[in-house]
Amino acid sequence: MPTAADEFDAFYKNARTVLLQQTFALTGDLPASRSAVRDAFVAAWHHWRKVSRLEDRDAWVRPLAWRYAQRRHSARIFHRDRKLDPDIKATLDALAKLPLAQRKVLLLTQLTDVSMSDMAREVGLPLHEAEQRLQTATSQFSISRDVPTTAIRPLFEALLAHVDEARWPRVTIVRRAGTTRRRTHTAVGAVAAMGALVLGGAVVTDAQGVMPSLDNARSNGVASLRLGPDDQKPAAGDGSEAADPDVPAVTIDDTDLVSLSQLAARLPGSWEPIDMAPAESGILMPCQSTRFADPSGVASAAQRYKAPAEKGRPSRNMVQAVEVSTTSSAAESAYDAMLGWFAGCTDARTQLVSTYDVGAVGDEAKILVLRSWKRPASTMVAGIARTGQASTITFTRAQDVHRADVARAAGLLADAVNGLCGLPGTAACAEKPQVTTARPVPVGAVPSMLLEVDLPPVSRVDRPWIGTEAKVARSNLAASRCDGTRFDVKAMRRNMTRSFVIPEARLSDLFGLTESVGLLPERQASQFVDTVRKKLRSCEDRQLGTEVVKVGDLSTRHQDLTVWHVTTEISDNQTMTYLMGIMRQGGAVAQVGFVPDGKVQMAPGAFIALAHRALDRLPELTG
């Protein structure tokens, strides 16, 4: 009969290479991945009495290895090895472009045999949302690698071949380290228990000896924690800065968060708390792409509420999240990360509607309004603020499409900031919020260009937009047949172009939206726009069978925007319709073109609003 050591040895030998393939695909960092897999098996031997009884042992060790690998790889890890095969580099490049949640669902589907429900559970998402992220990830990855979705799996087989010859520590070394880990854990636990008894207090830990975290804390809808060992900044020697031992401990309780009465006063309704029991990922809100905005923070808390549908009011839910950083500078980065979650939201069929600056609330604050077009459609309002070393989010979601009450959302955000005032490290409190319309937060690889989150839905299609990678504009699909505008002209700098399609909707090959941008001296940029306008004015005379209707126009000294609806007869019984806009901000110019497919079109006014969004993003081109 095989011993426990025999069973572990076989598990280690059979599972380690596949696990290395997964972590390498996740991070692109082979040394960090190898260390992560090794340490995950050390932990598995530590807990072998429990792990050995599991039907799926891989499901226990895999999340641990993935988490270790993510924590260990540095910020710029992809393709550090210049000797990588070009195909492998291309695969890692394509994976790196995916948000973490999408990357995980794609890898779990391609590299494991877990069911869809188990996959969703492992990434901490509802099944329908995990399926949607998988569809988006598959489409985006196939576009990036320029292969059909049916040809994705062989690309990962090349990764397996690459890691197959990795050198591993002997299994006896792994078991010895696991045994040492178990003994150390037991000794530390005994000392901690003795200290707790001597002090007359009580220390609560989970089964693995970890301080309570957001994953398991429960307190009438409030989860409050100091970051546990797996969440803290790595110790010096990992290539990272050591944590500051002088940072004071911060405890956040429910009195520091928005109260039920405050919530009901700002947003009337029958609100009630939701018990906090988030999944392993710690993802609490749509668009949230990582568990923490500041993984090295010193404290974190969250709470959730819900309100049922009532007469004149839709069903709603609310989340508040708080993070306290070690310094104000780190908090500024956390605040920017929180903004990035929503400003660059990668959730399928989610649209950024508007952005607002909120004055007199903490040190800095913004409100973003988004709309999810997934059925049932919903309106989401994310308020993000920072006071000193504390950053907070107040997030609400209403199950309908309506105009968001930004003033009430700003009041709720002010309540959240005032609740934190007085905690160690906080600074400015909140007064009466001053709300003003703002340009969208710069996000994405090319912040001056449109993103998927900017695009409105089209009729009769429930699939997401997918954007190609921005590239140098040697051609310009945004131009109409009337103008034939080029963005590779002399003196044009930073000229880029990008297209958006809905690959899973089975639409015409002509369907899609393209944007091209470029930078000229301001006088030439103004002439560039005037040339396009003149060509559109004369198009009906030059191209018989073409009808041009100007549907939007704006012109000031430093800014231009014009939008046209163009219809061209292709044959006696066939016409082609498209919308095109030209815009300028100073010396930055852009052209946006959209070709619908029959009845698959944008709602009235949606393209004009999108043209204004493109104009709002243009100033980033001059930065």
pTM (predicted TM-score): 0.68
Report which secondary-structure segment, H or E, holds 560: strand 559-571
3 membership: H or E segment, kind and range? none
Place of tokens 């002439």: 527
Asked if residue 129 has pLDDT above 90, the reply is no
Alpha-carbon span 118 to 100, nearest angstrom: 18
Q: Sorting pLDDT into bands at 50, 70 and 90, what band is 543?
A: confident
Q: Any idea which of 186-195, 347-356, 536-545 has the lowest mean pLDDT?
A: 186-195
Instruction: Report the pLDDT value the prediction gives residue 277, as an integer from 0 to 100.
Output: 59
Going by pLDDT thresholds of 50, 70 and 90, the confidence category of residue 502 is: very high
- Residue 324: pLDDT above 60? yes
| Residue 378, pLDDT score | 96
Give pLDDT, residue 245: 42
For 170, the token pair is: 């002997």
Among 221-235, 292-306, 495-509, 520-534, the least confident range: 221-235
Pairing of strands 493-501, 350-361: unpaired
What CA dihedral angle connects 133, 134, 135 and 140, to 10 degrees? 90
- Spatial separation of the C-alpha atoms in residues 580 and 607, rounded to whole Å: 9
Q: At what angle do helices 153-163 and 100-111 cross, to 10 degrees?
A: 80
Longest dimension (CA), the chain: 94
Q: How confident is the model at residue 181 (pLDDT cuts 50, 70, 90)?
A: low
Least confident of 37-51, 66-80, 461-475: 66-80
Q: Which of 113-122, 404-413, 564-573 shows the lowest mean pLDDT across its residues?
A: 564-573
Quote the tokens at residue 601.
């079109």
Question: Among candidates 576, 571, 573, 582, which has minimal Cα distance to 607?
Answer: 582
With tokens 């016409």, the residue in question is: 575
Is it the case that residue 622 has pLDDT exceeding 80?
yes
Provide CB contacts within 8 A for 231, sequence distance 6+: 213, 291, 292, 295
Q: Tell the residue number behind the tokens 């393709």, with chain if given.
A: 79
**How high does pLDDT run on average in the chain?**
86
CATH T-level fold of 452-622: Protein Transport Mog1p; Chain A (3.40.1000)
Per mean pLDDT, which range of 101-110, 139-148, 216-225, 417-426 is the poorest?
216-225
Distances in Å between the Cα of 215 and the Cα atoms of 100, 207, 326 are: 19, 13, 22
Confidence band of 219 (pLDDT split at 50, 70, 90) = very low
In three-state secondary structure terms, 491 is: coil
Angle between helices 30-46 and 4-27 (to 10 degrees): 150
Count CB atoms within 10 A of the CB of residue 388: 20
Q: Is the pLDDT of residue 233 over 90?
A: no
pLDDT over 90 percentage in the chain: 66
What does the pLDDT look like over 355-388, one tens digit per residue? 999 999 999 999 999 999 999 999 999 999 999 9
The four Cα atoms 86, 92, 95, 96 give a dihedral, to 10 degrees, of: -120
pLDDT, mean of residues 557-570: 93
Q: What is the pLDDT of residues 240-274, one digit of tens each?
A: 334 444 445 677 877 789 988 899 999 999 999 88
Beta bridge partners of 554: 561
CB 233 within 8 A of CB 241: yes
Res. 205 pLDDT band, cuts 50 70 90: very low
Give 400's DSSP letter. Answer: S
**For position 572, what pLDDT does the model report?**
61
Band of pLDDT at residue 69, cut at 50, 70 and 90: confident
pLDDT for residue 73: 65
Q: Indicate whether 585 pLDDT > 80.
A: yes
| pLDDT over threshold 80, residue 393 | yes
Which residues are bridge partners to 396 per DSSP? 318, 381
What's the CA gap between 30 and 33, in Å, rounded?
5
Picking from 185-189, 571-575, 576-580, 596-600, which range would have the lowest pLDDT averaged per residue?
185-189
| pLDDT score at 544 | 78
Burial of 530 (0-12, 13-18, 19+ CB in 10 A): middle
Q: Where are the domains of the chain?
A: 4-163, 222-232+243-438, 452-622
For a pLDDT cut of 70, what percent of the chain falls above it? 86
Which residues make Cβ contacts (< 8 Å) with residue 603, sequence separation at least 6? 456, 457, 459
Q: What string of DSSP letters covers 327-342? A: SHHHHHHHHHHHHHHH
Query: What pLDDT is stored for residue 203 in this prediction?
Result: 32
Judged against a pLDDT cut of 60, whether residue 275 lies above it is answered with yes
Write the CATH number of the domain with boundaries 222-232+243-438: 3.40.1000
d(CA 582, CA 536) in angstroms, rounded, equals: 11
Q: What is the pLDDT of residue 356?
A: 98
Using an 8 Å Cβ cutoff, are 542 and 536 in contact? no
What is the rounded CA–CA span in Å between residue 34 and residue 21?
A: 9
Helix (H), strand (E) counts: the chain: 16, 17
Q: How high is the pLDDT of residue 107?
A: 96
Q: How confident is the model at residue 182 (pLDDT cuts 50, 70, 90)?
A: low
Greater model confidence, 462 or 224: 462
In Å, what is the CA distance from 111 to each residue of 122, 142, 328? Answer: 14, 16, 41
Mean pLDDT, residues 155-173 taken together: 90
Residue 395: its pLDDT value, please? 99
Structure tokens belonging to residue 266: 């700002």
pLDDT of residue 184: 57
Dihedral sign from CA coordinates of 126, 129, 135, 140: negative
